[in-house]
Structure 1
Amino acid sequence: MSAAQVLVVGAGPTGLTLACDLARRGVAVRIIDQAPGPSPGSRAKGITPRTVEVFDDLGVAGEATRASTPVVMRHHGRDGTFVDQRPDSYWRSSPAEPYPQLLLPQWRTEAILRSLLSRLGVTVEYGTRLAAFEQDGHQVVAAVQHPEGGRTITAGYLVGCDGGHSTVRRELGVAFEGTTHPAQALLIGDLEVTGPRADRLHFWADPERGFLQLCPFTGSPVWQVAAMTPGWQARPPAPSREVFQHAAREITGSSGIEFGAARWTSTYRVNVRMADRLRRGRVFLAGDAAHVHPPAGGLGMNTGIQDAYNLGWKLALVLGGLATDALLDTYQAERLPIAAWTLGTSSERLRDMVAEIGKGGGADLGVVNTDDTRQLGLGYRWSPLSHPGTGHRGRLRPGDRAPDAPCRDAGGASVRLFDLYRGPHFTLLGFGHASRPAIEAVSAAWDGPLRTCLIAPGAPLADHDGHAADAYGITGDALVLVRPDGYLALTAEHHQAAAVVDYLRSL
């Protein structure tokens, strides 16, 4: 029998993110997956700006950005005309929101996270299937099957990140309510493509002939091909190179696109389902094991990654003795409403996309790129972890995402707020010199993971252009406490150190 503090089941993006977050916090984590090795498919390819911020905190945003395909959408008509839609037509960076959406094949996203996990001393245990588990008030005992035979793993907590057909969810007896639409079928495959420009994401949309998307990937000869025709909806064919080739010629009206052998294929049917709870005792659900969505807007994988990001710091504080088990209840309180919102939003974006396809050559598939699908406006104002306030009122409220802002250190070098937030700690910002005593008092009173920073002229950090004060809506001197996952815990008057200490101790 082997042991771990947390056992993660499933090594997709959700499970890998959680394992990375736990490992960097010093938690003994094991991660298993029944597959013999990493998945080769491109699958989910859109990384939302909020998820890029998660990657920034984990230290891999730069690597992901360098590997991303330029997000320029080319909308084709059957007459050979086209229109390019650049990202700045629906998104512009700002000091508070620095990251764009990225395009990465899922296999590359997973490779980046696996590499980080390896650097943290943890290896995915492939070929290891969860057979069953039992839990009591102290631990979870999981029976797993491996080519070398069965064995058990004992853990303090178990997290099911094992997809829409989750064994963990089934063993927990958690309902997975919603609908499946078998008539809405989309064929997806990874193929080599010749013909179109490799620096564009290509779309053809025709209400009578169907929909075709060709997405290249930087540094790879393989593109993701997605196709849908009206004739497939009753009984779609098995995806293959020949099927994609025929569909491309029918939809585009051209023979100028050629496909190589299909390296990976899948038939996607629209599912809209959600678990009715995310926790039962010492076992949690995250990612597709907890919710599955329509593909429009690319929210599914991103929501799963953010599930993991929400849960990781809470498990670490509880396992480290700095918080009570009640903190873990806030995972469900915060993420279940987000899952419900995501189901609704992705369904709306799917309807928008279908409506655009109905316009034929005038289709604008940028309709799925909205403020909602960037996920920057999501937060937890309703959460028990969002302190109601102590008198200070900035533009933001507890539970809101903590924005970025460029500042300067004492030597004049540029320092972003995200640089301060990066790592497994709370961050206390003190705006104005009058906040210094409160910052010192909180540092002395709280022995948990905490970074403090005074933002004022001549201080360790100067808000030289006022971007930080503007992003947070701060006028005068104030305290802002930021959670480890980049959301505001509370705002307070500059002298209210006790409010900050009380909050941290209340965990």
Structure 2
Amino acid sequence: MNTTQVLIAGAGPTGLMLGLWLTKLGIDVKIVDPKPGPAEETRAIVVQARTLEFYDQLGLGQEALSRGRHIDRVNLWTRGDLRASVRFDGVGRELTPHPYLYILTQDQNEALLVEALKALGVQVDWETALSGFEQAESGVTASLTHAEHTQTVRAAYLAGCDGASSAVRHQLGIPLSGGTYSQRFFVADVVASGELHENDFNMSLDGDQFLAFFPLPGRHHHRIVGQLPPDAGEHPSVEAVRPQIDRQQIAKVEDVQWFSTYNVHHRVADQFQAGRVLLLGDAAHVHSPVGGQGMNTGLGDAANAAWKLAQAVTGDPAALASYGPERRPFAATLVKTTDRAFSGVINPSPLARLIRNEWAPVALKLLGRSPILRRLLFLTLSQLRIRYPTSPLSVGRAGRVSGGERLPWVNSESGGNFEALQSLSWQVHVYGAPSPEILTWCGQWQVPLHVFGFGRGAQQAGFSENAFYLVRPDGYVGMAAPEFEWTAAEKYAERWLPAAAETQKVGQQVTALV
């Protein structure tokens, strides 16, 4: 019987991210997928700022940026006329190292992650399907099928990253609650010229129809998303939608590289964890492509679960129980939000048509003139606002920074505070001067201490001078305290820090001064 610490079913972006993060933490993983290899179609195309921050933590940020392209503006067209435009590039300059929308297609994400795994000695087992599993108190026993041969694998945990039709979720009997839109939609990757702006996201509205144009890597390359006409037939080609594209008068399609049709679902699994089995990505939640959130949410699931799985494998499963309670509420809210937005786009009623064609351009113009509204929208799209205020891991507040919030970014000439996150470990941040008690506590628990100057950037980010910030491996604040309290910090550490930390108390601190 083969053994591994974490068996990952599914080698899409979510499963690959999870595997890479775990591997960097020293966890043995086995990744299987029935496909013959990584995706060759572009599929999902947008990566948000929070995803790029995770890539930075994994040491992949610069490579990711070398492969994709920025989106400069969002443009709204109606009947061939440009009605409104909003510039997002740089709107979050003081909030994140990546203050922009970014195009990095699913096949590019998968290639990036597969290469990183290969460099660490991990190969994906392609054409290998999870055919069944049983779990017990001590672990999971899974059956894998490859070329009509079956092998048995024993793992401490199983991660279901196997998509919307997840075999893992089906075997667990967990419902994927929600619904499916009655309309059908198409996606086409094309070479096109015309009025649409090359480096922008272009939305075109015409009566009851919409077209969304996303820039793809390469000159004049675009992704078109739209609604199929009712008479398109069961297996339509691009010719069924070409009149619709031509009628909106902003793009002339010169070449079609990929065309597909699909139904849009809005569903969330009733639970994200059952014993030693987790659901991540599309196996746990599916929704409309509005806002480019789907792939990013799955990658966020992986970042949240990876370090908790690593702690569980090494003997401390307490934090792992927070995976579902932290990620499911966000997924449910996201599905509701995208459902409302998408329903507004496809609603055929006269009022909805009036809102789309007349009121939406006015609203977008107002948005473009308001830095506050643009910032708020960017924070939402970029997933920088995701936080876990009700999680048991989220404790305290110091300044404007509370437990459960993403660690605010502070930049400086000598390097920002996010560089410390590349260790993928628990750590303490102090902006100012650490007290002797903090120094001693970090030494006893072997938690790296990073000390930053309390300058203008730290003040603007909301930090409190000399306060204690215990940061989780995924870059979220676990505990915040304006004044260090030994008893509270000790209680938190004994419950949530890795069990190994308790046995490694030696009184030697690790300090990084920035």
TM-score class normalised by the smaller sequence? 0.7 to 0.9
Gaps of 5+ in 2: 347-351, 368-373, 497-514
For 1:24 and 1:372, locate their aligned partners in 2 and report how far apart those are by CA, in whole Å.
29
Counterpart of 1:304 (choices 298, 301, 318) is 298
Instruction: Determine helix, strand or coil for the equivalent of 1:415.
Output: coil
Say whether residues 1:331 and 2:323 are aligned partners.
yes
Contact 2:411–2:457, Cα closer than 8 Å, also in 1: yes
Question: Residues 114 and 357 of structure 1: is their aligned pair in 2 closer, same or farther, counting only changes over 3 Å?
Answer: farther
Partner of 2:244: 247
TM-score normalised per structure 1: 0.87
Pairing of 1:266-285 with structure 2 (within 5 A): 266-285=260-279
Counterpart of 1:313 (choices 307, 312, 315) is 307
1:195-214 CA-to-partner distances (Å, cap 9, x unmatched) read 45543333321114x22233
Bigger mean CA offset, 374-383 vs 45-54: 45-54
Bigger mean CA offset, 24-33 vs 172-181: 172-181
Question: Residues 84 and 430 of structure 1: is their aligned pair in 2 closer, same or farther, counting only changes over 3 Å?
Answer: closer
Q: Which amino acid aligns with 1:472?
A: G
Q: Which amino acid aligns with 1:382?
A: T
Question: Residues 426 and 326 of structure 1: is their aligned pair in 2 closer, same or farther, counting only changes over 3 Å?
Answer: closer
Partner of 2:76: 75
For 1:469 and 1:78, locate their aligned partners in 2 and report how far apart those are by CA, in whole Å.
47
Contact 2:345–2:356, Cα closer than 8 Å, also in 1: no
Partner of 1:346: 338
For 2:48 and 2:65, locate their aligned partners in 1 and report how far apart those are by CA, in whole Å.
12
For 2:495 and 2:411, locate their aligned partners in 1 and report how far apart those are by CA, in whole Å.
32
For 1:220 and 1:330, locate their aligned partners in 2 and report how far apart those are by CA, in whole Å.
44
Cα deviation, residue 157, structure 1: 0.4
1:119-176 CA-to-partner distances (Å, cap 9, x unmatched) read 2221211111111111111121111111262212211100001111000000111111
Say whether residues 1:468 and 2:458 are aligned partners.
yes
Cα deviation, residue 337, structure 1: 1.2
Question: Residues 81 and 69 of structure 1: is their aligned pair in 2 closer, same or farther, counting only changes over 3 Å?
Answer: same
For 2:211 and 2:309, locate their aligned partners in 1 and report how far apart those are by CA, in whole Å.
43
Contact 1:7–1:159, Cα closer than 8 Å, also in 2: yes
1:463-495 CA-to-partner distances (Å, cap 9, x unmatched) read 4x4212331331x42111111111111112444
Question: Residues 236 and 56 of structure 1: is their aligned pair in 2 closer, same or farther, counting only changes over 3 Å?
Answer: farther
Cα deviation, residue 236, structure 1: 5.4
For 2:80 and 2:459, locate their aligned partners in 1 and report how far apart those are by CA, in whole Å.
52
For 1:357 and 1:220, locate their aligned partners in 2 and report how far apart those are by CA, in whole Å.
35
Contact 1:430–1:454, Cα closer than 8 Å, also in 2: yes
1:356-378 CA-to-partner distances (Å, cap 9, x unmatched) read 88533775596895543322112
Partner of 1:49: 49
Question: Residues 236 and 487 of structure 1: is their aligned pair in 2 closer, same or farther, counting only changes over 3 Å?
Answer: farther
Partner of 1:359: 356
Give the CA RMSD over aligned residues.
2.6
For 1:335 and 1:357, locate their aligned partners in 2 and report how far apart those are by CA, in whole Å.
36
Bigger mean CA offset, 43-52 vs 493-502: 493-502
Identity of aligned residues (%): 33
For 1:415 and 1:498, locate their aligned partners in 2 and report how far apart those are by CA, in whole Å.
33
Partner of 1:459: none
1:15-72 CA-to-partner distances (Å, cap 9, x unmatched) read 1111111010000011111111111222211212222221221122222233332313
1:262-302 CA-to-partner distances (Å, cap 9, x unmatched) read 43x33232211111111111111011101111211122211
Q: Which amino acid aligns with 2:405?
A: D
Cα deviation, residue 498, structure 1: 4.2
Instruction: Determine helix, strand or coil for the equivalent of 1:70.
Output: strand
Cα deviation, residue 396, structure 1: 1.6
Counterpart of 2:252 (choices 235, 250, 257) is 257
Gaps of 5+ in 1: 408-412, 456-461
Cα deviation, residue 444, structure 1: 2.2
Instruction: Determine helix, strand or coil for the equivalent of 1:406.
Output: coil
Say whether residues 1:488 and 2:487 are aligned partners.
no
Instruction: Determine helix, strand or coil for the equivalent of 2:459.
Output: helix
Partner of 1:410: none
Say whether residues 1:102 and 2:102 are aligned partners.
yes
Q: Which amino acid aligns with 1:122?
A: V
Say whether residues 1:502 and 2:487 are aligned partners.
no
Instruction: Report the count of equivalent residues.
Output: 477
Say whether residues 1:288 and 2:282 are aligned partners.
yes
Partner of 2:215: 216
Instruction: Determine helix, strand or coil for the equivalent of 2:340.
Output: helix
Instruction: Determine helix, strand or coil for the equivalent of 2:38.
Output: coil
Pairing of 1:26-65 with structure 2 (within 5 A): 26-65=26-65
For 1:46 and 1:226, locate their aligned partners in 2 and report how far apart those are by CA, in whole Å.
13
Say whether residues 1:402 and 2:407 are aligned partners.
yes
For 1:165 and 1:396, locate their aligned partners in 2 and report how far apart those are by CA, in whole Å.
39
Partner of 2:187: 188
Say whether residues 1:385 and 2:377 are aligned partners.
no
Q: Which amino acid aligns with 2:76?
A: H
Contact 1:133–1:142, Cα closer than 8 Å, also in 2: yes
Q: Which amino acid aligns with 1:375?
A: Q
Question: Residues 318 and 356 of structure 1: is their aligned pair in 2 closer, same or farther, counting only changes over 3 Å?
Answer: farther
For 1:81 and 1:416, locate their aligned partners in 2 and report how far apart those are by CA, in whole Å.
39
Contact 1:227–1:247, Cα closer than 8 Å, also in 2: no
Cα deviation, residue 7, structure 1: 0.5
